[in-house]
Chain A
């Protein structure tokens, strides 16, 4: 995103501007840091994607072809860890870095130097994770949830994963403190909380969730570490502990984490749909309240991941109903997006295509979530491919599609150039079709009883698995179109006007040229 650099040097009160690598190592500019977050997450997305293709290659046919079962476990585990902590979360933080100061009229993030630290903690964490493939015993194969007791018994790769999680957690907490402080303290005069763009709102709530649960994850993996090396018995019944305790602590983090990965996606879609429907967002305040409700509810549903651990019936009922309750605020959101489009003068440029695609496919993921919330059904479907299908519908078609939508939406503002609509649409249709080829069939596999995280399967699952594997490779290749579209846009293309989207009305479109200058809003705009 070199195009961003070099504008408005008159505004540089900080004298020197390092260039080359030094610029990126030392920068305190939210746009530079946002760019680094986005490229880092794309690199992790490709790496995690390659691991996924390793999984799908093995599952192309029944029987063991390519990997030893232990290595297959490492693939599934590291795919999950890298996608969750390396790709999806940092990508949203990248959007937060770029967009929040622009959307609230702030000159930068509240703690610009710490912001750089938040980013630069991620590459060491990623190195720890990747290096764990090379140590004796290989990477951890305990699943991304790192359940005890399996995770207690693994080799050095597990320790590297634990420390990677600690470092990524520190990064998330610092990033979130920065985001919350920026939003609460650096809004332009006149921008009251209820005038904030919805993307900013969703990030405010997401950052709160992150600060609340990342330390809990740190606690969980720390107990794991002491169980592994210092003789504690937190997760060992012989010492009065319980492996299920790990699950409780983990999912107290893990379920809010699900919303950490989807709320900013809601925010992005809530910016894009009004822009391309050329109508204000329907039910703005209900969107805000729905986001907050989802966040609060997310703290009291964690045990729906644990219905088969032997829970009292009262617990099962509570967690079942609480989980179903989340469908209400989520339903409010879906209704509002549809109502925003109702009678709008819609056009379907790439960001809108991805947003509408998000709406269809994410909602399906939401529905399968509702089905899995029903305890007796969940007990049947626990650890089957139905669950895999469900969370890929919300994480790929939800989070990832929103990330794509946001990238195309804001690329003109970031680079000053329009992206290629042809490439963008091609990327959308390939992604949409291959995504469904990959994951739709997994519903049937799961309902028929195919277990997840197993490198082999019975003959009757062969056809659907072959279809899913073909879809996965298609989906992976489709992402090269995305890379091409982004690189092409950075290197040139039709010059973008300050506001290329008729219906977009947030500050970055109305008050700033494209590309946004290196230092923007040094004098805050006044919001009426």
Chain B
């Protein structure tokens, strides 16, 4: 292309096949666990252990390649495209669950409480929201928006600011502010997760709100649960980036790993805003 350096093609690597073996174990392990096969937990744990080993080794290799200067401007563009498309795939994953929430709230629940279906099948059912569903006897209290969830919104939005503050610092070579900003972002992320865990405990023990609570319970826990899982991953990625910063990685003009993680963090932030409005508030 325009520049002399040929595009970097890594040499043969064992990490992919190790990752495949991990997923083979995890697939069988998870299926066994869910069907009460005795060996299940072991198979699953072995799979997870191999997966973590693979990620540690593979991502470490990538970090070393990056620091060794193997990635030029063209590779940088590749990383940008790929991270964008990866985030798009994540958006579509969440869209499936938001779609399910929309469908249940706007279509299936009202249908069950009206017309011939309501009259002949579920005559005692009053459609509305939040609701578990006509066949669920247990009652629950829904999760309000203005307590912990509002605090969580503030936490995540602030963490979006701190990560950007760290990025500005990285671009002008202010390493102290970079590390501080990253540390604050991680702290806010961990605090968010702590609040979520507290909220779940409250939901289980005081609100009787579980996955089994029909349309509301399922959509609430699946959406907040997958979001929380993504925040966990994002926090781990931020911690890795912090360690890399402390080890002196990244340059003002060459730091896509940092940017990718901050993109991911902002994405998780936006999903939370959607959750806050559509799951907690409205």
Q: Which of the segments B22-30, B247-255, B271-279 contacts the partner chain?
A: B22-30
For B, the interface residue count at a CB cutoff of 8 angstroms equals: 68
> B85 near A28 (CB under 8 angstroms)?
no
Question: Is the C-beta of A293 less than 8 angstroms from some C-beta in chain B?
Answer: no
- Beyond A234-B218, A245-B108, whether A14 also contacts B103 by CB under 8 A is no
Question: Is the C-beta of B6 less than 8 angstroms from some C-beta in chain A?
Answer: yes
One of B78, B89, B95, B100 near A211 (C-beta < 8 A): B89
Bound-complex Cα distance A111 to B17 (A): 15
> B212 near A216 (CB under 8 angstroms)?
no
In the complex, which residues of chain A have a beta carbon less than 8 angstroms from the beta carbon of B23? 121, 124, 167, 170
Question: Which of A106, A124, A225, A230 has its CB near the most chain B CB atoms (within 10 A)?
Answer: A124
Bound-complex Cα distance A228 to B211 (A): 12
For A, the interface residue count at a CB cutoff of 8 angstroms equals: 86
- Beyond A111-B78, A181-B85, whether A163 also contacts B6 by CB under 8 A is no
> A522 near B108 (CB under 8 angstroms)?
no
In the complex, which residues of chain A have a beta carbon less than 8 angstroms from the beta carbon of B21? 124
One of A160, A244, A245 near B27 (C-beta < 8 A): A160
Question: Is the C-beta of B16 less than 8 angstroms from some C-beta in chain A?
Answer: yes
Q: Which of the segments B128-136, B142-150, B190-198 contacts the partner chain?
A: B128-136
- Beyond A232-B211, A234-B218, whether A249 also contacts B136 by CB under 8 A is no
* Chain B residue nearest in CB terms to A233: B214
In the complex, which residues of chain B have a beta carbon less than 8 angstroms from the beta carbon of A242? 103-104, 107-108, 111
> A240 near B96 (CB under 8 angstroms)?
no
Nearest Cβ in chain A — how far from B154, in angstroms? 29
* Chain A residue nearest in CB terms to B134: A238
Question: Is the C-beta of B20 less than 8 angstroms from some C-beta in chain A?
Answer: yes
Q: Which of the segments A15-23, A78-86, A340-348, A440-448 contacts the partner chain?
A: A15-23
In the complex, which residues of chain B have a beta carbon less than 8 angstroms from the beta carbon of A245? 100, 103-104, 108
One of B11, B82, B97, B133 near A239 (C-beta < 8 A): B133
One of B26, B35, B86, B89 near A214 (C-beta < 8 A): B89
Bound-complex Cα distance A230 to B213 (A): 11
* Chain B residue nearest in CB terms to A221: B96
Within 8 A of A (CB), among B209-224: 210-212, 214-218, 221-222
Q: Pick 29 A–B contacts, CB within 8 A, sort by A.
A: A17-B12, A18-B12, A28-B9, A28-B11, A28-B13, A112-B9, A112-B10, A120-B16, A120-B17, A121-B20, A124-B21, A156-B31, A159-B31, A160-B27, A173-B89, A177-B86, A189-B1, A189-B2, A211-B85, A211-B88, A211-B89, A212-B88, A212-B89, A216-B93, A223-B97, A226-B218, A237-B134, A242-B107, A248-B103
Q: Given contacts A14-B11, A233-B212, could you give 5 more A-B pairs where the C-beta distance is less than 8 Å?
A: A18-B12, A111-B82, A215-B95, A241-B214, A249-B99
Measured CB to CB, the residues of A under 8 A from B are: 13-18, 22-23, 25-28, 106-108, 110-114, 116-117, 119-121, 123-125, 127-128, 131, 135, 155-156, 159-160, 163-164, 166-167, 170, 173, 176-178, 180-181, 184-186, 189, 211-216, 218-220, 222-223, 225-226, 228-234, 236-242, 244-245, 248-249, 252, 522-524
